Structure 1
């Protein structure tokens, strides 16, 4: 399917990365289980949080180490799918899966204390969307794809920026969730606007922008980081990325931009509904708290 049958198990499933993700997941369950008593204010973690964390790890693995990651080196549409899964889907699931008492312990670690400024709504939105857009400048994208260490570093920084961006909407610490419903709604629209130019340029480009998906030699070099062996053999066997692409390079690029924008719109629209619901509950709760004070005991006594 889509040419995956031509690649080995190692290329498709990245065993080392899979092992790393399994170790992190196991560590999570050990920390929230047997080791939880070592943390101040530790409480039992609900099943929903555990499921959220596991789903987040699974999605992140699929995007960065599974077959979708390999397909992302052959089709731009899948590349944008991996980006959406890695930075718009996995982070909120992971954040919701980590209990508040564990977050408090994590944030006491010195390096994380210095990230407070970057968690401010406008700063976080500008930094994340700026890094994402900058990465998709053709020259930057092709350069990063050809340098493995830089590629991993950039993805790590982008993941941290995604966590900070999501912090305003999914703040796992009730005592620090000071953003009002109106602020969160404005923040959602700000993110939707900031990502639009990059997606628009990709969608409406009249020609292929990325050598990684149009130049067979560049493509083979980039594939060398996820497929073992001599990259030149890939050229001999397949001739280039078009062998695997069910669309023209231009159309694939346009579809990739549409996929990214659609996933972002869907996720933030869902988040908008969640914010509205929480805002409605908060307003109603405040009204219920005020009512007894105004019409409760005093009225009864007068009666």
Structure 2
């Protein structure tokens, strides 16, 4: 597990996203407390985190013979978008695919929307190239469009599919639009935490389901932040010492080893079965 504590609400989000969506999207509070206890999160912390997730519209209470919570309908597209970003966009973008450009202007009387736009575009991986002008690899265009519509922000934004024509050295210029050192620091922290785990698992063989679960949930919780910090820029535009490649390979290796036994453990604890 990471040396820096992961928030209980983030761990719960991971449990729902990685396992419970495919098991019907619901879990009893008792079973959730059991699973979270294996991650060193006690019952009061679980209940407090559930309360916050309920207020944010992520979870809804539902009784199925026992008190529990299910993912709200509004949360499903957010998790689907996360899947695309976390699992499908692991490789760098292709420079030939061009760029997604967002241009917005928000009246001062609605500056909270301006803050929300900046926050959400940053979270999607957009870099700020000028006031009100944001840029990302072209493959993020559909996710940006869906996010803006979902949050009711589309009326403030013009989205463009763009190509870079001239006049600077683009590889040098993009380093002003994204904070490469900060991104690399996050990748290094991930690798420092989980490279020893991978070595130990390689030496000891396949872990039992409970141990796999204890590794996988923190692993995915820490990893899923990174594809949002990293826009996935084309390789030609990245520094020569870019450390994301090794971190991605490490994540993919551990994901392949740990996911299935972790899911088996969740099924065993909850008695839930796949709904697909």
TM-score by length of 1: 0.21
Larger of the two Rg values belongs to structure = 1
- Higher relative contact order, chain-length normalized (CA < 8 Å, sep 6+): 2
Indicate the structure with greater helix content: 1
